[in-house]
Amino acid sequence: MPEFTAAEYSAILLSLKVSLVATLLSLPFGFAAAYVMTYRQFRGKVALDVLVNLPLTLPPVVIGYVLLILLGQHGFIGLHILQPLGIKLIFTWKAAVIATAVVGFPLLVRSIRIGMESVDHGLIQAARTLGAGWFDTMLTVILPLSLRSVIAGSALMFARGLGEFGATIIVAGNIPGVTQTIPLAIYDYASSPGGDSMAMALCVVSVIISVAVLLFHEYLSHRMIRKD
């Protein structure tokens, strides 16, 4: 097993950081999207459904490219919003977070929707007649009862984020110490003759982290069942 240098540790930490931030940032939006899609009827609902699920079917490179076009120096958002505010996103870890968030978002929403749909409608009706408005009901009834699916979705999104490559490399670039996450580091080593053992070592680390995440998710789920 080859020795990890600072570059590799930095890649591992960066992967964890980017995935974690992307997941946490996406949670409120994912929950809101799932709520609207489960409980509200409105024109254009199908369009929202398609939009939310789109990243699931698009190649990540396409997503990365689209983000680059939008957020880059000459992009619509880049030119009119980011530059005037002095915000630079491309080739920063923030871009990596955005790419990871976009790619993983549909997984989060799907999971939460399944949880929400399984909440007994009678409970929601009861809450409304007991004086809880829609927001109150969402917070005190729907959220606690779909919490398990929120956690499952988050774990799934986090794990997917750890493996994010295509969109990340386009929009965040391969900057060691700044945006070089584990998959990018593996790619770097894999393109290099003689880099196989290091690439494999990083793969092993990747697998270990994913297994840890999944085990943690199982543990949390069981704890929640016991509390019932």
Interface ranges with other proteins (CB under 8 A): 72-74, 90-91, 120, 122-123, 125-133, 136, 140-141, 144-145, 173-178, 180, 188-195, 228
**Residue positions counted in the chain:** 228
Residue 98 CB-half CA count within 13 A: 22
Closest separation in Å from C-beta 185 to other proteins: 10
Q: Which is nearer to other proteins, 35 or 189 (by Cβ)?
A: 189
| H-run or E-run covering 171 | helix 166-171
Closest separation in Å from C-beta 51 to other proteins: 27
Closest separation in Å from C-beta 211 to other proteins: 28
Q: Which is nearer to other proteins, 53 or 128 (by Cβ)?
A: 128
Residues 6+ apart with CB under 8 A from 209: 12, 15, 16, 162
Q: Which is nearer to other proteins, 25 or 145 (by Cβ)?
A: 145
Q: Which is nearer to other proteins, 80 or 211 (by Cβ)?
A: 80
Q: What are phi and psi of 190, to 5 degrees?
A: -70, -25
Contact 15, 100 (CB under 8 A): no
Closest separation in Å from C-beta 197 to other proteins: 13
Q: Which is nearer to other proteins, 13 or 123 (by Cβ)?
A: 123
CA distances from 55 to 35, 63, 104, 105 (A): 19, 7, 8, 8
Closest separation in Å from C-beta 187 to other proteins: 8
Which residue matches tokens 């779909």? 146
**Residue 86: left if φ>0, alpha if ψ -120 to 50, beta else—which one?**
left
